[in-house]
Structure 1
């Protein structure tokens, strides 16, 4: 993992954002252009809950509902809408990841998000080598 990503994970641990048993060991960096959207989904259960989405470059909203109706391209009918501000960390857990589907409607501005997750130990792919500096990381352990 790049050093900037490791530094971010260490900072989140220092601030006690993830519990000690859920320090992320992987991440996804998503880069979106104006007009893109994140389709309706439930994140795969190979990843331990909670996980953390950090938003960069612009504000967007994330929509939640057990069943989200697709109205049109990038437009959805939903129950809950949460603003995701630039630089904020959204913690996804419980029903927000396992029961409710979520999506991000079409974006008015370019956006970058980094989603930090921990792979379930029983699901780790063959050959994956965990980073020892992250494996033993505990809150306030810097």
Structure 2
């Protein structure tokens, strides 16, 4: 993603979350922890789903939410979160209708890295 200019070289991810969804799974409204440097990104696989954004997101029912903004996440799409979209507004994934996988790539703040963490030298070379 750095080589394709999706993320700046100063934000090479050093951690990620893999979300594997089955029908009905969701991610409730949240703001990602600030130990993760902005921007960060999410890549969508297997099936499309919308992501909802809002300063407040209403929980309508199990896996059902109502936000102010809804953005489609087609298969293969990359969503980059930064600024107010990452720091102020909550986001969530409503219950999925089909299997889905997403990969969210983060860079942990170097001051918050786990004890003994060693960065991958091959990734660090990309920063130059």
Shorter-chain TM-score bucket reads: over 0.9
Partner of 1:118: 107
Displacement of 1:135 in angstroms is 1.4
Aligned residues: 128
Q: Deviations over 1:48-106 (max 9, x none)?
A: 00001000000000000001111111111210000001011110111111100000001
Per the normalisation by structure 2, the TM-score is 0.96
Residue 131 of structure 1, CA deviation:
0.3
5+ residue gaps, structure 2, are none
- Is 1:106 the equivalent of 2:95? yes
- Distance in 2 (CA, whole Å) between partners of 1:45 and 1:135 is 22
Shift of residue 136 of structure 1? 2.3
RMSD: 1.0
Which structure shows the higher strand fraction? 2
- 1:49 lines up with 2:38 in the alignment: yes
Structure 1 runs (4+) greater than 6 angstroms displaced: none
Give the match for residue 25 of structure 1: 14
Please, which of 58, 61, 66 is the counterpart of residue 69 of structure 1?
58
Taking structure 1 as the reference length, what is the TM-score of the superposition? 0.87
Q: Which residue of 2 aligns with 1:9?
A: none
**SS in structure 2 of the partner of residue 50 of structure 1:** strand
Please identify which structure carries the higher helix content: 1
The residue number in structure 2 matching 1:38 is 27
Deviates more, 1:128-137 or 1:59-68: 128-137
Specify the alignment match of 2:67 in structure 1: 78
Distance 1:93 1:79 in 2: 18
Distance 1:99 1:49 in 2: 12
| DSSP 3-state at the match of 2:53 | strand
